[in-house]
Amino acid sequence: KSPVANGAHYFMLGRVDEKDPPGVLRESGFGVEFPNYIVDVLKDPETGEYKEAIQFQCLERGGVRVFEGINFMSRNSKMSDAEMSDMHERAKMAGMYPYGASPEQMHTVAFKPPGDTDNSWQAMWRAIGVDKLLELLTESIEDGGR
């Protein structure tokens, strides 16, 4: 179980690196910087603002995939079944199903309103030193997967 899935704070720092191709956001989180590929966006036809985005992260070291993640993100805190189905279809069209983007392979992270989200899982992670491990990962992985 992940503290993030239980409403833990996850501060994401994103930066654009001129050396990366278009559509890549360098994300720092969990003690690691990795490329976050913007696979798909949905814009509001009236305002032009982004309403949804699909992101893919993959971190490889020594030819071994050590992490991959897929994020469906929306400005709406609650999405309808139809909106979620549309995102899955766009992910499928982008070739992401083999990496875990099908409805059967993904889970929805419950929305938590702002406030105190510290929970027993976060306390356990601190007690066993996961926070220290993440600091070590930060030091050992310097280039974000390049």
DSSP assignment of 70-136, as one string? EEEEESSSS--HHHHHHHHHHHHHTT-GGGT-STTT--PPPP--SS----HHHHHHHHHTHHHHHHH
Q: What is the residue whose two structure tokens read 């993440």?
A: 134
Distance, CA of 138 to CA of 2 (rounded, Å): 19
Each residue's pLDDT expressed in tens, for the chain with a length of 146 residues: 444 544 444 556 678 889 988 888 888 766 677 888 899 999 999 999 999 999 998 877 788 888 788 989 888 878 899 999 999 999 999 999 988 899 999 888 776 666 556 667 777 878 888 777 777 766 665 445 44
Q: Which residue, 87, 80, 97, 79, is CA-closest to 41?
A: 87
140 membership: H or E segment, kind and range: helix 130-140
Distance, CA of 67 to CA of 35 (rounded, Å): 11
Distance, CA of 101 to CA of 94 (rounded, Å): 10
Q: Would you mind telling me the total number of residues written for the chain in this entry?
A: 146
